[in-house]
């Protein structure tokens, strides 16, 4: 989970996100929130040009839909756990 528990999701918008293996996935664009309980469910990522979108779940705007609970670390770059 996120190292800094008080980190607001708005602080994450615009940050680069990378895989656990060091591949740059893209830039965090937005979030999907469960309106029933307010929990963040997914991170929406504007992918890098070279990324094969067929390997990922994407929304209708071709943004990556990544599970929020797989974020491992937040520093200058956000790191995802293996999917």
What pLDDT score was predicted for residue 7?
58
What pLDDT score was predicted for residue 38?
87
Q: Provide CB contacts within 8 A for 2, sequence distance 6+.
A: 71, 73, 74
What pLDDT score was predicted for residue 2?
45
What pLDDT score was predicted for residue 81?
84
Radius of gyration of the chain (CA): 12
Domains, the chain, in order of start with CATH, read 9-80 (2.30.30.240)
Whether the model clears a pTM of 0.75, i.e. scores above it, the answer is yes
Give the mean pLDDT per block of 10 residues along the chain (83 residues). Answer: 54 91 94 92 96 95 95 82 81
């Amino acid at each position: 989970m996120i190292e800094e528990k008080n980190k607001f999701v708005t602080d994450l918008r615009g940050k680069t996100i990378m895989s656990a293996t060091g591949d740059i996935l893209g830039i965090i664009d937005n979030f999907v929130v469960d309106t029933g309980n307010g929990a963040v469910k997914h991170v929406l990522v504007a992918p890098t040009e070279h990324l094969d979108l067929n390997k990922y779940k994407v929304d209708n705007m071709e943004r990556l839909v990544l599970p929020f609970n797989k974020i491992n670390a937040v520093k200058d770059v956000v790191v995802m756990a293996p999917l």
